Structure formats: structure tokens, C-alpha cells
Amino acid sequence: MCRWMAWFGQPVLIEELVFKTQHGIVDQSLHARMGAEPTNGDGFGLGWYGGGEGPGVYRSVAPAWSDENLREIAAHVESPLFFTHVRAAIGSPVQQTNCHPFRHGDWLFVHNGYIGDFPALRRELMMVLNPHRFAEVHGSTDTEVVFHMALAFGLEHDPINALEQAVWFVENTAHRLGIAPMVQATFGMSDGETLWAVRYATEGPARSLFASADVDAIHRLYPDNARLERLGADDRLIVSEPVADLPGVWEEIPPGTAVTVRRGGVLEQRPFVPRRIASPEAEPALARALDA
Amino acid sequence: MCRWMAWFGQPVLIEELVFKTQHGIVDQSLHARMGAEPTNGDGFGLGWYGGGEGPGVYRSVAPAWSDENLREIAAHVESPLFFTHVRAAIGSPVQQTNCHPFRHGDWLFVHNGYIGDFPALRRELMMVLNPHRFAEVHGSTDTEVVFHMALAFGLEHDPINALEQAVWFVENTAHRLGIAPMVQATFGMSDGETLWAVRYATEGPARSLFASADVDAIHRLYPDNARLERLGADDRLIVSEPVADLPGVWEEIPPGTAVTVRRGGVLEQRPFVPRRIASPEAEPALARALDA
Amino acid sequence: MCRWMAWFGQPVLIEELVFKTQHGIVDQSLHARMGAEPTNGDGFGLGWYGGGEGPGVYRSVAPAWSDENLREIAAHVESPLFFTHVRAAIGSPVQQTNCHPFRHGDWLFVHNGYIGDFPALRRELMMVLNPHRFAEVHGSTDTEVVFHMALAFGLEHDPINALEQAVWFVENTAHRLGIAPMVQATFGMSDGETLWAVRYATEGPARSLFASADVDAIHRLYPDNARLERLGADDRLIVSEPVADLPGVWEEIPPGTAVTVRRGGVLEQRPFVPRRIASPEAEPALARALDA
Amino acid sequence: MCRWMAWFGQPVLIEELVFKTQHGIVDQSLHARMGAEPTNGDGFGLGWYGGGEGPGVYRSVAPAWSDENLREIAAHVESPLFFTHVRAAIGSPVQQTNCHPFRHGDWLFVHNGYIGDFPALRRELMMVLNPHRFAEVHGSTDTEVVFHMALAFGLEHDPINALEQAVWFVENTAHRLGIAPMVQATFGMSDGETLWAVRYATEGPARSLFASADVDAIHRLYPDNARLERLGADDRLIVSEPVADLPGVWEEIPPGTAVTVRRGGVLEQRPFVPRRIASPEAEPALARALDA
């Protein structure tokens, strides 16, 4: 069980959203309300765009609530697009390489959830990766493997399709090995230009995921709220759970849904359906894995 | 034994000076050439101005050479004025609160050197601090105590005088206790507007300290060096030891000297002479300590 | 808010009590039931007697629940007398030197609770310490200061009296400075031969503290419990909160009480009354502080 | 480049060999004399037998020279058979799961050296592992992969043969992929009953490795050395480089050699020759990899 949030909009000091909200991600690290466990103290990560080339990533094994350096960076770095993630480890070690976000080139990737029976699947899933991608996997989480699988399936060109294929491959591999497939996931990802988020569960209730409402709607609901007044038309938040108790501000993203957020606050939804898609990039990866 | 550097000039990505120089501070953490020990692996710190209110500070107990987060911050944060420091602990624990720079309000403070017989002096020196300042000392280094003593003596209004008084008080206290006084120090400090550096030893050779030369002089010396060409008239570096083998670029700051660097690359020198100076701020602190 | 436990009896693998009980200290680090906060994730410590000279101390800033090394040590080290402590920091940094137990020579010391307005008192309290003791304080907790004050007052010769004097001095200093005195504390300490525990609050309810009952009584209560059967006449546990739901096994130590546990399971109680006691050791320390 | 040592003999406090020798492993972490780099500051590990079930492992990312906990454990734990290892990372992250010794059941495994072009080989090498073994690899070092390959080839029944097969497979895989094969290695391993050590390089000079001489020979050489007098007939040290400047005490293990140390100080040598050996355990692993 983990919690994450993403901001996309006007440049803000990161602390505005991470520390200075009523129930921000750092508060969630101690007191999550919608997760399986209230405590997410097994490390955290921050990935941000703006300044230098590509995204910066700060990851630590300390609990988010006590990390002085996170407080410092959040108070002194502005960004128009960033992710934060607090981790509750389930099985894999508490180490920096297991903290989200994961990065490849300009891409950042976060995940809340799990792959059922991952230890039994890990080898077969990593077959999808060519030697170069395989060597890039430094940690031992399911998330890092899913990210690199999706990269092998073309995430950099069509992220949602590639992720659908990756989830399909996880479920398909479980079937092949006689294991009950289970992918529990909210995913967040970005290339610095667009933000994508996914909510999905192979079966049963999916992990929670919310988007902030249209800014006009928010302003009509809370005409006297000074903080919300600063929100502009370009601003969107995607969160595992609401960061403030403001009815009407948070819209639940339905299970089985992929969301695309573009500059200007544009938010589009479409169904997220794991499936095999023939594509020039995916074929060699699948061949590598399925023929093995 | 530690190593530090300070940059004051045009805004640059921190990595330009920390990682991308021939013999930058991270290289010095493994291979210092002018210090008592080649290894400075007992933590490090980075303090920078720009973005948010006051300076940001990133400190870690990991060796600078292996800290992934330092690499990330350095590659994605720009600053016109920053310090980095690599530590070789002598006696006090390797912990974040013992890493430099130390901060108070807008001020940053770094130190290379030591106070002789500090454990025997620590109580008497901390007497100078009123209860509020006393409670701000979270670590166990001599540096943090000197910094707070200088604050008690008026550092925020006249930093060099206050530091002269602090060093005098250390030497005076040693005398009173029958201990041979020894302050070995290069200090660096800033309020975000001006940069001060000091080189001093009670006796014997002082720790090394250098300033980069006047930019015009550098350009005349190396007309074809592309990196140096980017240096502007406003740019100055202060370093424990040269970060590149470029004869003529580094000017040794003489022992017993205080240097003031102002915007525009202005560098002024004056003698640094520890002494008691009657001042409205220093008197109560001295009374507190000497009458105790 | 912290949690601690002490074992004194037959040598056992530390994991028996730290990991293999229903609601042991590691479980309490995530799910304390009787404290102000359920989470005690700001570091932990283990201090044990047996093997080598004096006690060994293992302290870490990682949460107890995820520290692999704690698991290893607990699974491979046996001890007849040990303390473990999980920390919830209130104000002071999460660093190894702020983790309990604290050690001096053969002595170990743990604490749950706080000194009210400690930052305002810290300087005056540390005046009690002579320069040598002053230099031994490496962290910034109230506990470490209380421990060294008690040492200055003769803890090594008469621990309860010295601790009564230390608590008296804290309360007295607060009065002198016009601060409402408040010491909230359960203390545990040992010299390797005897175990002492104290429960005290200046006013209001004191933090919880329990001792395991007489072994015969436990055996009569649970004649068929295999784990409890292994308990011998020499075995006693002192705990912040019960480590298992076994009615009759845990006896609440009353507020304002000091408990002494000797070999053979002997447990004696007497009132704990903070007061000034003239003693050859305490006088110079008090003079140092009160005349200052 | 790393450094390691192993002790097999009478039970000793670990600090005797780790801290209290002239040039012990902790000194080597700062000042190695025979390695490619003097600094081995990227974490360390201690694996010991005695107390509890199977070996205990303490691993940390802190440099060995500054880790207080290592000092504590070494001063309070006795063992008749233990390994310590200090790491100089080359490429893979500084994280606990990349520190040696690695453990599986009763087995411990350490390594100094590297596999040439490991990132290009990693995927093909890990093919040897069945899904269960694959999931046990938590870090990203070459060593951990070699260990699990050797386990797949029967290390628990015939450790030297299995390791010869593992090294052969690394070299063979490199050949197949058109990569110049290079295994640089000294290995140490134990099951708690026997200690094995190997020195090997595919080509060129092999990393250094020494065994302590026969105790009678040592006593004849240094009849007046009090420390050496305590050495008994059962005692043997295997070290990357001598831990004291005592001519005649250290015997270089020749390149291409495997050494077996049994209780009673028995030390046997035989050639170490990487090769394919048909065995019931190795065949399925090879089939898995070669037919893939």
C-alpha cells in the first residue's frame, strides 16, 4: 500500500502541496485514511520537472515525515509538474532503488498497488526485457519491472497502450503459470509535457484515485477560500486520496480508466483495457518472452 | 579535516562546479590533495540561495561520491550563491546535524579545521549562548558552537568582527582553563547578499584557502579555454583547494586574512585579528560566560 | 511518545521477546495502543548485556519494523538482560545519538515521556554537568540530559535517589525560570546486575508501565500455555504496554513509583519522590548550576 | 575493488580481528594497500556463525570506519567463523542488498573483483535461475548473481565444482555474446562447518589473497609476540591483504587455486578450473539458460 500525488499546472513551491495542505502526502505517510494501512513509512520519492535536463528525482528510505532534506527541497524548488510517493513496503526491501518515482530518460513513473504472487512471476516478466533494459532494473519491486516492460512495449510513444499491454502480459503470464492473476494499480506517469494516470484492478475494488475538479467549478463552490483562489485554469491534481476535506473538489476516477491531463487543465478519460496489441515495438519483446 | 567551496556570481547549475570540474569537491571527498587526509567521506552538505525563502540546505551522512540525491539536486537546481562541504570527522559522530553548512535565518556557515581540546572547552564556550541560542545547537561539532557564539556576538550585523570575537573567546577560554589555545580554521559565510571567507590559525601553518582571480586576468591567461570563457565579471570561487590545475587562476588567501566578496566580483581583504570588541550585542554574551 | 521494554532473567534470544510475541516492541512501533500516537517510527535502540565488556548498544534511525539488521541481531544474540526502545520524536532530530538506550560505562538508560518546555530549560539543566560530562552529550534529547544529570548526582551509587534529584532539579529549574514544570516519564536503567524502572508525572496521568507478574502466579493462570511454561522464577519483563493479551500477567506499576528488579525475579517497589538530597556527589553539581 | 577477510578457529570477539589488528579490515576500508583503490567506503558487511540458527548478517551502507553499530557488534559478539567485507562500488548502487556477505540458508558468500561487461551479461546469466531463485536476487551486483548461479549448479553439495561451473558459464556466455570474458575474483564461502576460498582471473594478474601460515610456523617465527601466542592449532585467517606486517605469517594463495579450510586448521589446496561438469543439479539450470 502506498500513496502518491501529482501536480500539473502553474509552477509552485513543492511544499505548498506536499507540506502545506490539510492532508497532504506527508500527512498521509503517517495517517492515510483510504489505504489498507495508515502508515506509509518505508521511504518516499519526489520527481520534478523544471531546472536542468529532464526530471530530477529525490528518493530516500527515511519516512517522509521526518526527512529534513525533503522539507528543504520542497521549500526551495518550484515546479509546474511533479510527483511525490510514500511507500509501504510489502515484501521487497526498504532501499532507495525500490522507491518511486522510477525514471527513464524524460519519463517518471509511480504506482500504488501490487502484482499478485510477484516472486513467482518475476523471472518470466523480466524475460520481456532485452539485456540493456534488464540491466537497468536496479531494485526488486514489481513496479520497476512493470515500468520497464511498458517501456519495452513502447511506452515512450503510446504510454497507455503500452501499459495496457504490460498489464495484459502480467495477467497472461500468471495464467500460463497456473497462478491467479491479480494486478492492483493506480499508475501515474509523465514525459514532462503530459500527465497520465490509470486506475485498474484485475478483479475486486481498485485502489482509490481522484482528480481535482475543473477550476471554475472549484471557484464556484468555494468563492471565499483564499488558497483555492490561487488555483488557475491550468492546474490539476491527481491524488491517491483527497488532500483536503472539500466536498466537490475531488472527482473519483472510475476503475478501469485512463486519464490524460494536458497543459491548460484539459482532462480526458478513456477505458483502460489490458490487451495484446501488435506493434513494432511490442512484438520483439513478446517474442523474447513467449518463445523463451 | 574537511574541504569546502563557495560560488558567488551568475546563476549556474550546481553540478557545473560540484561534479563537472576536474578536481571538484566530490572528487576531493575521495582524493583531497592539500589536506591532512585524502578521504572526506563522513557526510557532506550543500547550502544554496535562490528559490523559496532564505537558503536551502541539503545535508547527508553518505559520502558525497556515492550520494545519488546530491547528483540529482546538483543537476536540477541553479543558484547564484552556494556552499558545498565534505566532512572528515574528527571525534564527533557522523550525523546530519554535524554536517555543514549550518544555518540561522538567512545565514549559512561552513568551516574547515578544528578547535584544540574542544571537549574540555565545550561547556565554557556554550555558556556564551542564551537559553534560546543554546537550544538551537542540535549537533556536537565545534563549528556549530563557533557559529552560534558569533551569532551571539553580532554576526548578523558585523560578521567579521563577531567572528574575531568568537575566536578570541575560544583562545581566551583555553588560556583561562590552562589549555594551549588552538583554532585552525577557514570559515565561509553568507547572508545571501555578500560572501565572507576567513583563513586563520592560532599558530603554525593555516589550512589552505584560495580565491579565483579577477575574471579579466583569467581570460588573458587562458584565451582559448571554453569553460573559462563563460566566467563573467561577477563570478568568484572560494575553495579549500583548487578545483582545476590552471596556474594563475587561483590566488592563495594569506593566513590571518578575512575576505569579503560582493556582487560584481568585488573582492576585498583585511587582516583577521581575534580580539575583544565592546559592542551592545557582545557584552551580555560575554557577561553571561565570563561571570559564570 | 515512545515505547520500551526490558527483560531480566534467563538468557534468551532477543527475537523471542522483540519479534515473536503477539504485540512486541516492533509491533508497537507501528501499532502502539496505549500511547499518544500509534506510530513510533523515528528510530530505535537495543542495549544488551552478555558477551564482551559492558553492554552493547545497537541504535538506528530506521523504523524498527523495517530494519533488517535488528532482525539479524535479535535472531543471533542471546542475553539475560536487555532493553529495546522505539522512538516517536517530538522536536529533536531523528539521529542515532538521539536514540535510546543511552550508555555510560556499564549503565544503560531509557525513557518514555518528555520534559515540558525543554528548549527553554536545556541550558540551565546542562550547567549541572562538569566539562567532562558536558562533552559526553552528543545528541539533543531531554533524556540524554536527564541521564547525565543523574550521573552527576550519583546515579552509579544510588540510582533512584540520583534520579529523584535530577527530576527535582528539572522541576526546580522550571520554577526558577517561571515555567510550569512538567516531567512525564517512565525510566528504565541497569548496571547489568540490577534493573530499575520508574513511573512518574509532575501532574496528571503518568505514561503507562507494567511489570510481568510473579512466575508462579502466571503458571497458575495459564497452566497450558507452552510459551509461558518456559518462563522461570528468575524472569521479569518491564514494558510500556503489555506485549500479549493475557489477563493477570501484567501488573500496572503505580504512578510515583520506583521498582527494583534483582536476580531471582525479586521485584521491590518504593515511592519515587523528586527532592533535593544532600550528598557528596550532588553538592558540587548543584553548586555549579545554582550559583551560576 | 573490495577487501574481505575470514576467520575460522577458536571463538573470538569479532573486534579482535576487525578493529584491533594493525591493518585490519576497517583500516583497509580507508587505506587499502594492495587494491586498485585505497578507499572501500561504499558499505560493508559482517556474517558470523554462532548463536541462533544459521549465520547472522549485519550489512550497512555506511563506511566501515564510521559505523558505530559495527563497533558495538564486534565488541560484544564472539564467533568461531566469520566474514567481513568492505565495498568499493563499481557501477551498482550503494545499498544494503548490494553488500556482502550474501546468504542462503546456512551459506555465506563474499567476493572481491568483478565480471567484465556485467550489464550486457546480466540477463543471460540470470536465465540459469529458476523462478524461485530468481526472486531471491534482491540487489544488482554481479556477486549476488554468481552466488545464485553456483547455488543452481549445486553449491550446497559441492561448492568448488559448482563455482567452477558458474565461472565457466560466465565466460561461456560472454563468448556466445561476442564479449571478451573476464572474471576477476577472490571468493570466500562457508556452510558453518568448512571454509572455502578461491583466487582466480580469466586472464592477467588475479586479485590478491592470503592465508595465515601453520600456527607452529608462526610461533617459531615470533616466539615473543603475545598476540600471536594466543593463536591455536585450529586457527586460520584468509585475507585480501595482510592485516599485520609480519613476514612469514602470510602465505599467498596462488592464482587459479581453491583452498579448503577444515576444523583443526587443516588447509588443502587444489587447482580452480572453470569448466562444464555434468551433474544432476547443473543440467536443468544449464538447459534453462542455454536453450533459451
How many secondary structure helices (H) and strands (E) does chain B include? 10, 13
B-proximal residues of C, 58-97, CB under 8 Å:
92-93, 95-97
Contact between chains at C39 and A39 (C-beta distance less than 8 A): yes
Lowest mean pLDDT segment, chosen from B256-265, C58-67, C281-290: C281-290
In this model, does residue D63 exceed pLDDT 70?
yes
Residues of C in contact with B131 (CB under 8 A): 119-124
Under 8 Å between Cβ of D265 and D9: yes
Task: Classify residue C156 as exposed, middle or buried by CB count within 10 Å of its CB (0-12, 13-18, 19+).
Answer: middle
Cell readout for D261 is 579450510
pLDDT in tens, A194-214: 999 999 999 999 999 999 998
What gap in Å lies between CA C145 and CA C155, rounded to an integer? 13
DSSP chain D: --EEEEEEEEEEEHHHHHTSSTT-HHHHHHH-SSSS-S---S-EEEEE-SSSSS-EEEEESS-GGG-HHHHHHHHH-EEEEEEEEE---SSS---GGGSSPEEETTEEEEEEEEETTHHHHHHHHHTTS-HHHHHH--S--HHHHHHHHHHHTTTTT-HHHHHHHHHHHHHHHHHHTT----EEEEEEEE-SS-EEEEEEESSSPPPP-EEEPPHHHHHHH-TT-HHHHT--TT-EEEESS-SS--TTTEEEPPSSEEEEEETTTEEEEEE--------TTHHHHHHHHH--
In this model, does residue D234 exceed pLDDT 60?
yes
What gap in Å lies between CA D261 and CA D107, rounded to an integer? 15
Under 8 Å between Cβ of D42 and D61: yes
The pLDDT assigned to C169 comes to: 97
pLDDT in tens, D164-184: 999 999 999 999 999 999 999
The pLDDT assigned to B1 comes to: 63
Interface B-D, measured as beta-carbon pairs within 8 A, has a size of 28
Contact between chains at B119 and C129 (C-beta distance less than 8 A): no
Neighbours of D12 (CB within 10 A): 17
With a pLDDT cut of 70, the percent of chain D lying above it is 98
Q: Round the average pLDDT of chain D to a whole number and report it.
A: 92
**SS3 call for B139:** coil
Cell readout for D42 is 561504499
CB of D138 less than 8 A from some CB of A:
yes
Identify the sign of the CA torsion A272, A278, A284, A290.
Answer: positive
DSSP label at B62? Answer: S
Under 8 Å between Cβ of B8 and B236: yes
Contact between chains at D120 and A129 (C-beta distance less than 8 A): no
Mean pLDDT value of segment D48-56: 95
Lowest mean pLDDT segment, chosen from A226-235, D1-10, D196-205: A226-235
Under 8 Å between Cβ of A139 and A90: no
Contact between chains at C56 and D75 (C-beta distance less than 8 A): yes
Whole-number CA gyration radius for chain D: 18
Mean pLDDT value of segment D195-224: 92
CB of A12 less than 8 A from some CB of B:
no
Contact between chains at B42 and D66 (C-beta distance less than 8 A): yes
Q: How far is residue A221 CA from its own chain's centroid? A: 28
Contact between chains at A66 and C94 (C-beta distance less than 8 A): yes
pLDDT tier, A243 (very low <50, low <70, confident <90, very high otherwise): confident
Mean pLDDT value of segment A125-149: 96
Neighbours of A157 (CB within 10 A): 11
CB of C57 less than 8 A from some CB of D:
yes
pLDDT in tens, B145-187: 999 999 999 999 999 999 999 999 999 999 999 999 999 999 9
B78-87/D107-115 β-pairing: unpaired
In this model, does residue D4 exceed pLDDT 80?
yes
pLDDT in tens, C19-57: 888 888 888 888 888 876 788 999 999 999 998 999 999
What gap in Å lies between CA A207 and CA A256, rounded to an integer? 11
- Residue A3's H or E segment, with its range, is strand A3-13
In this model, does residue A160 exceed pLDDT 90?
yes
Amino acid at B27: D
Interface A-D, measured as beta-carbon pairs within 8 A, has a size of 61
Interface A-B, measured as beta-carbon pairs within 8 A, has a size of 59
Query: Which chains lie within 8 Å of chain A at 3 or more CB pairs, if any?
Result: B, C, D
Residues of B in contact with A68 (CB under 8 A): 59, 96
Q: To 5 degrees, how large is the angle CA A271–CA A275–CA A277?
A: 110
**SS3 call for A270:** strand
The pLDDT assigned to D27 comes to: 86
CA–CA min distance B76, chain A (Å)? 4
In this model, does residue A6 exceed pLDDT 90?
yes
CB of B287 less than 8 A from some CB of C:
no
What gap in Å lies between CA B114 and CA D48, rounded to an integer? 39
* Interface probe, candidates D66, D72, D87, D94, chain B, greatest B C-beta count within 10 A: D66
CB of A134 less than 8 A from some CB of D:
yes
The pLDDT assigned to D1 comes to: 64
Phi, psi torsion values for D9, nearest 5 degrees: 170, -140
Cell readout for C194 is 540490577
Residues of B in contact with A55 (CB under 8 A): 76
pLDDT in tens, C191-237: 999 999 999 999 999 999 999 998 888 888 888 888 888 888 889 99
Task: Provide CB contacts within 8 A for D255, sequence distance 6+.
Answer: D199, D200, D201, D205, D206
The pLDDT assigned to D231 comes to: 86
- Residue A171's H or E segment, with its range, is helix A159-176
* Interface probe, candidates D28, D37, D94, D99, chain B, greatest B C-beta count within 10 A: D94
The pLDDT assigned to D256 comes to: 98
Contact between chains at C68 and D75 (C-beta distance less than 8 A): no
DSSP A22-90: TT-HHHHHHH-SSSS-S---S-EEEEE-SSSSS-EEEEESS-GGG-HHHHHHHHH-EEEEEEEEE---S
What gap in Å lies between CA B172 and CA C6, rounded to an integer? 47
pLDDT tier, A280 (very low <50, low <70, confident <90, very high otherwise): confident
B-proximal residues of A, 214-243, CB under 8 Å:
none
Q: To 5 degrees, how large is the angle CA B192–CA B197–CA B198?
A: 150
Under 8 Å between Cβ of D33 and D119: no
Chain C residue with CA closest to A30: the answer is: C39
- In chain B, which stretches have pLDDT less than 50? none
This model's pTM is above 0.90: yes
The residue that leads in pLDDT, C195 or D264, is C195
Contact between chains at A68 and C93 (C-beta distance less than 8 A): yes
pLDDT in tens, D88-107: 987 889 999 999 999 999 99
Mean pLDDT value of segment C119-137: 95
In this model, does residue C292 exceed pLDDT 80?
no
Task: Provide CB contacts within 8 A for A245, sequence distance 6+.
Answer: A22, A23
CA–CA min distance C51, chain D (Å)? 5
Contact between chains at C68 and D52 (C-beta distance less than 8 A): no
Under 8 Å between Cβ of A193 and A187: no
Mean pLDDT value of segment A48-60: 96
Cell readout for B37 is 587526509
Residues of B in contact with C120 (CB under 8 A): 131-132, 135
What gap in Å lies between CA D128 and CA D198, rounded to an integer? 22
The pLDDT assigned to A250 comes to: 92
Neighbours of B141 (CB within 10 A): 25
The pLDDT assigned to A20 comes to: 87
In this model, does residue A292 exceed pLDDT 60?
no
Chain B residue with CA closest to C140: the answer is: B138
The pLDDT assigned to B36 comes to: 67
Residues of B in contact with D41 (CB under 8 A): 39, 41, 63, 65-66
The pLDDT assigned to A291 comes to: 65
Mean pLDDT value of segment D192-208: 97
Q: How far lies D271's CA from each of A270, B7, B228, in Å?
A: 65, 58, 57
Mean pLDDT value of segment D207-225: 89
pLDDT tier, D196 (very low <50, low <70, confident <90, very high otherwise): very high
Give rounded-to-5 percent helix, strand, coil for chain B: 30, 30, 40
